[in-house]
Amino acid sequence: ASGQHPRLHPIRAPTFAMKLVSQIRCFGGWLHKFVHQSAAVSCEMTFTVFIPSKAQDQKVPSLYYLSGLTCSPDNFIQKAGAFAAAEREGIMLIAPDTSPRGVPIEGDNDSYDFGVAAGFYVDATEPKWSTNYRMYSYVTEELPELVSGHLPATDKKSITGHSMGGHGALTIYLKNPGSYQSVSAFAPICNPTNCPWGVKAFTGYFGEENKEKWMAHDATVLMRSYEGPKTPILIDQGAADNFLEKELHPEAFAEACEAVGNPLELRMQEGYDHSYFFISTFIDDHIKFHSEHLA
């Protein structure tokens, strides 16, 4: 496949590491879907990548997008409307899955907010989940190694996400100071140790008593002791979001940022909800924000 349009999507020849299963041209660049056998989560994983036309002549920086509860790698690609901005800014977009799939774990598909499509971007420690539910290692180690080894990406990368994925973006950025040039989020779960979604996930993946692990994946807690680069953070939050008061708690994260002097632009968007209509409205702003830090 890579030989058909060598200057438009300069992907190395297919390897056993990952298989190109589809490719579509859009906005001058190319959208690819890959599958590969993951060592991190011990199953086959799928991810999607938009490669801008600029990559035909040089390597480009990357922006990782982490999706929310119930999502697959396709939601962002099909609904966010991010390609025009990514092509304009010369940024590769990488959208992984939200959990392992098809693994033999009883009960992993019983609810929308735990298990399949709800991996919370953590490495589980509870024995039932610890073999497969290692999305933190997948996103921070295995996937970037695949990207750098097989795609025209520079070593500069940033990260963003929505809801559970916003939680993932913020915590991954804060736990790896300097590894990502910038972070932003759409309606992130900012204080998961203090909301039903987070408590359910952390109890299941870490155990009820392992509160130290809970705290290690809470963006508000992490920010309170953060000593990394004081790069500005951008968060957009719909003021009409049904989950705002019960699940998201951006005010707690804002207070933590203020306490340590980390710049935060928290934009409350009047009338907007938790959907991809909200994300698609502001995705251009986020891509431009990251482009400035990836330059």
Task: List beta partners, residue 45.
Answer: 36
Closest CA to 177 of 255, 110, 231, 237: 231
Count, residues in the chain: 295
Is 284 annotated as catalytic? Answer: no
Interatomic CA distance for residues 249 and 188, integer angstroms = 8
Given the residues 36, 274, 286, 290, select the one marked as catalytic. Answer: 274
- 140 with 177: CB under 8 angstroms? no
Cβ burial of 126 (10 Å; 0-12, 13-18, 19+) is middle
Q: Which residue has the tokens 């579509």?
A: 24
Catalytic residue among 241, 286, 290, 291: 241
Other Cβ atoms closer than 10 A to 241? 21
Cα 72 from Cα 235, distance rounded (Å): 22
Task: Give the separation between CA 11 and CA 2, rounded to whole angstroms.
Answer: 6
- The answer to whether 248 and 237 are in contact (CB under 8 A) is yes
Q: Kindly give the residue spans of alpha helices, DSSP state H, lying in 111-210.
A: 135-137, 143-150, 164-175, 196-206
241 among known catalytic residues:
yes
The single residue of 62, 163, 182, 184 carrying the catalytic annotation is: 163
Residue 113 is among the residues annotated as catalytic for this protein: no
Residues β-bridged to residue 24: 31
Known catalytic residues? 163, 241, 274
